[in-house]
Chains A and B, each alone.
Chain A
Amino acid sequence: NAGVTQTPKFQVLKTGQSMTLQCAQDMNHNSMYWYRQDPGMGLRLIYYSASEGTTDKGEVPNGYNVSRLNKREFSLRLESAAPSQTSVYFCASSVGTGLTYEQYFGPGTRLTVT
């Protein structure tokens, strides 16, 4: 099992460009998440999908959109990138039921917006 995979690993964008970060999990998990991590800020939830067919905003959703393509895949889109979106982005998944919901993280995408 690959666990949670993310593409790309690194990306440099110019202000105003768009891109989609891809995430896939092969653990048959119901719930998936997108976080951003900035120095001194910990992990902040952007969007999450409790189950296939549903998505909800997290703590910092502005400037992002998501698509839960199927049970395996959850993508994050930046429509018009801004320098403030320079960050490390992590995708995670979990079983999502009851209290057994430890999260499994992907390796991250390091995004720089110039």
Chain B
Amino acid sequence: AQSVAQPEDQVNVAEGNPLTVKCTYSVSGNPYLFWYVQYPNRGLQFLLKYITGDNLVKGSYGFEAEFNKSQTSFHLKKPSALVSDSALYFCAVSSASGGSYIPTFGRGTSLIVHP
């Protein structure tokens, strides 16, 4: 079975400071990793993904994430946070297990960027 852990329910950061939203995963075989963002009363929007290749993945809105196989982590980062980055962030993992590629989501982390 595959699983995702987002250990922080909420992350607070000041505008202009770097931010990190943590994600660790457990999966059989090669992981396919994703970050999504959700603004209030909206569906989820794709931010970035890791399938294969470079461990550092760059995505939308200046976000990036680093795949660390030994630590089974895929933390989301941004060098300089904006107030508009305040939202709910979800990490997800899928794999070829059983041929299904059905994603498993973390519980979500609320990011609050203070002016």
Do A and B come together as binding partners? no
